[in-house]
């Protein structure tokens, strides 16, 4: 299995009519941040019907390098979700939900993008959003459980494929709570 990008777990469904769409996104970098395995995931749903149009998880960048970070994974998840919407679904309005306060607060202009490493990703994300009617909403992790599960499932599968076992996460080792 190639790990640059994992295909949808369910076949893509093209939205037939303009709709109100929702993206839930998540990212992780385990078993260490920075320098671990950066994983992104997103789910796109039709808000009107509740139907999942697509879900995807994959590597957000090269694993085991210093540039592999949680922030890279979170931004990649949001970018990939918005790209999918632009390519596959006519929309009227887009709601973007994530448990990454930095990404959501930057999109809502509560914070200003300053990080040299993250500024290109922020610019790519806002560029993808240009011309769309959208809102970005922070949600606690427990309200982002489906996207969180996709990231963790991909991480588990990647570890088994490449290391023969699941490497302990930072939560498992007590490095974070």
Radius of gyration (C-alpha) of the chain in whole angstroms: 16
Q: Which CATH class is domain 19-173?
A: alpha beta
Kindly state the tokens that stand for 108. 């809502």
pLDDT tens-digit map of 51-68: 999 999 999 999 999 999
Q: Alpha-carbon torsion 62, 149, 44, 157, what sign?
A: positive
Residue 25, pLDDT score: 98
What the block records as the tokens of 17 is: 């009519």
* Residues 135-146, mean pLDDT to the nearest whole number: 97
Q: Of 93, 76, 68, 63, which is closest to residue 25 (Cα–Cα)?
A: 76
Please state the domain extents for the chain. Answer: 19-173
User: Is the peptide bond between 34 and the residue preceding it cis, with omega within 30 degrees of 0?
Assistant: yes
Given a cut of 50, is residue 1 above it in pLDDT?
no
What pLDDT score does 17 carry? 59
> Does residue 13 have a pLDDT over 80?
no
Place of tokens 């490449």: 162
pLDDT value for 4: 46
């Amino acid at each position: 299995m190639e790990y640059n990008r994992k295909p949808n777990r369910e076949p893509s469904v093209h939205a037939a009519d303009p709709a109100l769409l929702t993206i839930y996104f998540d990212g992780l970098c385990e078993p260490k941040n920075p320098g671990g395995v950066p994983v992104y995931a997103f789910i796109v749903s039709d808000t009107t019907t509740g139907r999942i149009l697509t879900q995807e998880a994959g590597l957000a960048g090269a694993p085991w390098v210093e540039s592999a970070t949680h922030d890279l994974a979170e931004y990649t998840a949001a970018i990939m979700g918005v790209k999918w919407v632009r390519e596959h679904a006519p929309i009227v309005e887009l709601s973007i939900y994530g448990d990454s306060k930095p990404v959501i607060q930057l999109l809502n202009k509560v914070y200003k993008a300053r990080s040299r490493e993250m500024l290109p990703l922020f610019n790519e994300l806002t560029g993808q959003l240009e011309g769309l009617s959208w809102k970005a909403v922070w949600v606690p992790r427990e309200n982002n459980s489906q996207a969180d599960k996709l990231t963790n499932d991909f991480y588990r599968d990647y570890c088994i494929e490449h290391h023969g076992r699941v490497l302990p996460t930072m939560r498992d080792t007590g490095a974070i709570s």
